[in-house]
Amino acid sequence: MTQRRNPTAAIKTQGCKLNQFESQQIREQLARLGCDIVPFEGPADIYVINSCTVTARTDRDCRRLIRHAKKLNPAGFVAVTGCYAEVAPETLEAIPQADLVADNATKARIGHEIRERLADSLAWPAEGGVASTVAYSCDGDMLERFAGHTRAFVKVQEGCNAFCSYCIIPHARGRSRSAEFDDVVAQTRRLIRAGHPEIVLIGTHLGQYGLDLENAPNLAGVVETLCELPGLGRLRLSSIEPREVSEELLQFVAHHPKVCRHLHLPLQNGCDSVLERMNRPYTAQFYGELAHRIREMDPGICVGADVIVGFPGETDEEFETCREFIESIPLSYLHVFTYSSRPGTPAAEMPDQVLHEVKIARNHRLRDLSEVIRARFAEAMVGEALETVLERTVTDEPGVLDGLTDNYLRVTAPGPESLLGTIQALRITQAHGEGLRGALQ
């Protein structure tokens, strides 16, 4: 007699931290419905691709993943959700290998949608065996844990009202909306109980938290409350807009022992004329003064920036202005993006689109600059004791652990595997390129 088995499901996540959080929600939902979760690169009954549409490359990668999943199991069911499915569903529905295309509004119940579609073709457990769930006001259900990750994300905000001229995300994720404050606290408590030593607050437009709620704290108030939760190891902020970094928030980042010394502040460009065309609400001078103020508060605070090269009309002179500006301010790393035209955005209709080979050359120049900036910041940490979440073993170095410092540097140090998943103080002994070597205190 053939033994009955549960359906198997595999999930692939593209793009941002929000997608990673939402993929965890999908994972837990499918597991509660009776699926065994398996790696994406093997055979599965169900494949879920949580897509991104920030660039043309992520679009291409999503289409490739759809076809790849069907090759892994021609009889498998392939579901696509996320931002690409939101803004271009007709493109994905035209791919024969895509069995279900679900927009972001459907994402929160995609597991139920899949079960309904496959009710007669897979051996699902009885509905009565499905565990109860707790709804989360920022879409989907609360997570029990962040599977496969030492550090856990908490989505506190969704959507964006900014409409930068190059960005499709407001169309993909909608207007700004915040999770209820009590839900944020409850979700964080759950992940602390699950043993995650670091919680990362994430949002499409994180600094807008609470503006759409009555009697809710602002982001600094959220940080203050969460830092008082028993068992919290440390708290990190994800990307936050430069104009939304309040003095109160800066004080927490610089001085609170449980708040990571790390701010990721999207710059996008260091030339005012380009910033204006991008519809960004600040000048290079404002950004530079903020970066210098942060570094003066504590030289150990890591300040990272997103930069887009090749925006429509960007001249050689504008690019050089941007590069020189970046060299003049105390940044710790860059995330460099090549401009990608998104249909439906004002920038896609702008004249003087930059040649592809010019964009690639500028990208390489800023990536080279980022390596110099990262190495300089890492070198400055030699001799310091840095609080580090130890995340994994180093494959080719037995007895050596790899972790992330509070100020966002990778560090390796000898130590027992029993310390994985804990926060330890490491004395930094060496900088090698962008990374660090340390020793347990």
pLDDT at 434: 77
Is the pLDDT at 316 greater than 50, yes or no? Answer: yes
> Cα(78)–Cα(262) distance, rounded to whole angstroms?
38
56-106 pLDDT, tens digit each: 999 999 999 999 999 999 999 999 999 999 999 999 999 999 999 999 999
Is pLDDT of 380 > 70? yes
Q: Name the CA dihedral angle for 102, 103, 106, 112, rounded to a multiple of 10 degrees.
A: 10
CA distances to 92, 109, 151 from 20, rounded to whole Å, are 21, 16, 12
Distance of CA 80 to the CA centre of its chain: 19
**pLDDT score for 132:** 57
Quote the pLDDT of residue 5.
84
Q: Quick check: 436 and 381 in contact, CB under 8 A?
A: yes
Q: Which pLDDT value is given to residue 127?
A: 62
Specify burial of residue 211 (Cβ count, 10 A radius: 0-12, 13-18, 19+): middle
What pLDDT was estimated at residue 139? 86
203-211: average pLDDT: 96
Strand partners, 236: 200
Range with the poorest average pLDDT among 137-141, 142-146, 238-242: 137-141
215 closest CA partner among 181, 192, 249, 260: 181
| Strands (DSSP E) found in 86-231 | 100-101, 151-158, 177-178, 198-203
Question: Residue type for 199, please?
Answer: I
Report residue 303 CA to chain centroid gap.
16
Q: What pLDDT digit, counting tens, does each position of 320-351 carry? A: 999 999 999 999 999 999 999 999 999 999 99
Q: What is the pLDDT of residue 244?
A: 97
Asked if 46 contacts 9 with a C-beta cutoff of 8 angstroms, the reply is yes
**pTM, entire model:** 0.94
Per the structure block, which two tokens stand in for 103? 């927009």
Is pLDDT of 131 > 70? no
Contact 79, 114 (CB under 8 A): yes
CA distance 257 to 425: 13
Indicate if the pLDDT at residue 220 is higher than 80: yes
Q: Scan for tokens 């990673």, then name that residue.
A: 20
- The mean predicted confidence, pLDDT, of the chain is 95
- Asked whether residue 129 carries a pLDDT value surpassing 90, the answer given is no
* Cross-strand pairs, 48: 11, 79
pLDDT band at residue 1, thresholds of 50, 70 and 90? very low
State mean pLDDT over 132-143: 87
CB atoms within 10 A of CB 72: 15
pLDDT at position 319 over 80: yes
Q: Which of 77, 71, 76, 92 minimizes the C-alpha distance to 14?
A: 92
Give every CB contact of residue 384 below 8 A, 6+ residues apart in sequence. Answer: 300, 427, 428
Listed residue (43, 102, 101) closest to 69, CA to CA: 43
Confidence class for position 272, pLDDT limits 50, 70, 90? very high
Single-letter residue type at 301 = I
Write out pLDDT tens, residues 388-410. Answer: 999 999 999 999 999 999 999 99
